[in-house]
Structure 1
Amino acid sequence: MARRTKRLWTDEEKRSICLQTTAAGVSVARVAQRYAMNANVIFKWLRDPRYAPAPPAEPDAACFLPVEIVDRPMHDDSEAAADPTPAAGMIEIDLACGHRLRISGTYDPEALVRLIRGLSG
């Protein structure tokens, strides 16, 4: 009879295996089979904060952003130089990634939030 040897897993391997259990439709038992190990070992790792994956962020969670209200735009566009005051009902948003949004007239707030998230990510 062959003698069993205890497999030693690195911390990175443990984190990787624990992360695989968070995929939709994947069970801990399935991941354990993939690595020829007992599922209870993975459950033990999942209880350890060093290896447990971070909970996923809620996509609809509120997020506060810094806001600065100024009398005139802070950029040097030629059209801004011609008319230093923004049009009534106009919103300008400068994102940290370098994109600038200019919205005038009516807008859908939910669509605007999705657009900002898409440009920020």
Structure 2
Amino acid sequence: MARRTRRLWTDEEKRSICLQTTAPGVSVAQVALRYTVNANLIFKWLRDPKYRPKPGTGSEEAGLRFLPVEIIAEAAKPLAAPLADNHIEIDLAGGHRMRISGSYNPEALARLIRGLTV
């Protein structure tokens, strides 16, 4: 039987995770799956005033939102290749490919890629 390791979350990570639960159409369960944490733990953090999002600081106001992601299986190509104007395609570990169209924040994209490849 595999031994579980306990993850230690910083206060900033807890606040960020709690803020993501305020996005329209997003459930606590979806956020919990994203971070591989039990939803009950997020509910516990949401009850704590230290981590609970303040009124008027929802994810929409903070510019946070979930973006649709499609995972497709295809042959590997170079790590990143521009497809056309405002398009980028990134091959991730495990044969997954990320396609982005339109404008994007490079720092946010880098954080997303790091999160997907952990």
Shorter-chain TM band: 0.3 to 0.5
TM-score by length of 2: 0.46
Higher relative contact order (CA 8 A, sep 6+): 2
